[in-house]
Amino acid sequence: MISLWDAVAPPGATIAGGFRDRAGHVDLAELQAGSTFGDALESLADRSVLIATHEQRASALALVELDGLARRVVLCTPDLSAAQLDGVAAAAEADAIVVDSPTDRSTPAPYVVSARPRALQGSRRTRVATEWVLLTSGTTGTPKLVLHTLESLAGSLLPGPDSAPRPAAGGEALVWSTFYDIRRYGGLQIYLRAVLTGAPLVLSCAGEPTAEFLGRAAAAGVTHISGTPSHWRRALMSGAAALLSPRYVRLSGEVADQALLDSLRATFPQARVAHAFASTEAGLAFDVDDGLAGFPEAFVGGGSGAVDLKVEDGTLRIRSRRNASRYLGDGAKALQGEDGYVDTGDRVELVGGRYYFRGRQGGVINVGGLKVFPEEVEAVLNAHPRVRMSLVRARRSPITGAVVVADVVLNETSAPAGADDVKQELLSLCRQVLPAHKVPAKMQIVPALELTPAGKLVRPVG
């Protein structure tokens, strides 16, 4: 059993790495004799802890401090409502919550962390294999809790027989950054890479304009940087992307199209541009670094044993040690099929020796890397007294990959009067209860929606 801290601070070695954000910089070495929990750290032993800080830096430190100490850590994304947080706390059986500003919440027991480590009596000791829980959207608007371990998240980055070679001493120093929030799978991957290789990590701050973040990243000498295709399009549009001179540019979380890959190559001619496939449930599956969209056919069916891919019923399925172990909570469904594969729900098509992504199975819409279940939005629309039924679907977008659009059938088929008012009412209803990316960008009132013989909505494929 090895904890994050054991890997960061092997006996006799110098501790390298740390986190930089808009407010300043903190070195991991400061945790050797200090803690952002102060003397309260010990009381978190064996607890199930929600990490729900406003700024990423506080979460970044808390994870290093709690892995190996807490029974379970739950990485809460900053967009959770108070009600969702309560639901997550119940499902995770949380008995502590870590925040970075004073809270009026009394359960679970709040722990307010400081921005910098304070003096810590005694030394750190790894006592449990901490469970790591990531959140991902579910059909009902309640996040699903996905259970991982440090091993499944970090893979070969952890010291051990299969470990990836560490960067050679004296080589050019790496500085990592990510547009992602480190509390989402894609960002957490970069966090672990930085922490486990002793490289500094430049974090974005809540509400920070893209150009400012890029300016900070450039000033910090970032060499390796990752984000979703939507993050990268935004960076290219900021005019500030060229401030960076990265050696490695990584895309994940959404389909990387050829136009974007070409733009990035033109903007960063000195960089290796790679796109990766990963999901919270399936874990990191593969990297593609030949500069082309899609992935080679040879990736599928090889069965190297480390990561097995197969395509069944048109969707990509993955079995590997990077898979999550299960969903947490009452009545949670199984995460893997009986064959041990996780169905990613991503439809792929083989064209000329290469697989290309063709949208999501079950109509899940990916808006800039955030999942939207059509049923969740339809439930909001259908609750309006004048709505008979609705269909929520994806519309392709060159900016965010997709946007959400809705077709709505009203009750009074003979009275289209006031349809515009209903549209406005429906949109403001959606804005009250849904995060912005789930609110239909376009809505049209239609006379009818097509149904299958079984009486279900006909959902567009792709």
Partner 1 sequence: MTRDTIVSVFNEVAVSQGRTLAPLSDDLRLTECGLDSLSFAIVVANLEDSLGVDPFNAAEWVDFPVTLGDFVQLYDRAVA
Provide the binding-site residues for partner 1, judged by CB under 8 A.
Answer: 209-211, 230, 233-234, 236-240, 259, 262-263, 266, 367-368, 395, 397-400, 403, 405, 427, 431, 436-437, 441-442
Q: Provide the sign of the torsion angle of the four alpha carbons 398, 21, 56, 187, taken in this order.
A: positive
Which residue, 200 or 227, is less far from partner 1 as judged by CB?
227
Cis upstream peptide for 246 (omega within 30°): no
In the block, tokens 């970044």 appear at: 60
Task: Please state the closest distance from residue 209 (CB atom) to partner 1, in A.
Answer: 7
DSSP reduced 3-state for 283: strand
DSSP of 355-411: EEEEEEGGG-EEETTEEE-HHHHHHHHHTSTTEEEEEEEEEEETTTEEEEEEEEEES
CB of 270 to partner 1, least distance (A): 18
Q: Shortest gap between Cβ of 68 and partner 1 (angstroms)?
A: 37
Question: What b/e readout covers 85-118, taking b as 16+ CB neighbours within 10 angstroms?
Answer: bebbbebbebbbbbbbeeeeeeebebbbbeeebb
Q: What's the closest the beta carbon of residue 239 comes to partner 1, in angstroms?
A: 4
Minimum distance from residue 249 beta carbon to partner 1 (Å): 15
**Choice between 337 and 460, CB closer to partner 1:** 460
Residues 6+ apart with CB under 8 A from 436: none
Phi, psi of 197 (to 5 degrees): -110, 5
- Which CB, 50 or 403, lies closer to partner 1? 403
Residue placing its CB nearer to partner 1 in the complex, 133 or 392: 392
Nearest distance from residue 402's CB to partner 1, in Å? 8
Toward partner 1, which CB reaches closer, 25 or 442?
442
Complex with partner 1: residue 239 or 337, whichever CB lies closer: 239
Q: How many CB atoms lie within 10 A of CB 22?
A: 15
Is 242 or 458 the residue whose CB approaches partner 1 more closely?
242
- Other beta carbons less than 10 A from residue 394's beta carbon: 21
- Work out how close the CB of 326 gets to partner 1 at its nearest, in angstroms, rounded to a whole number: 32
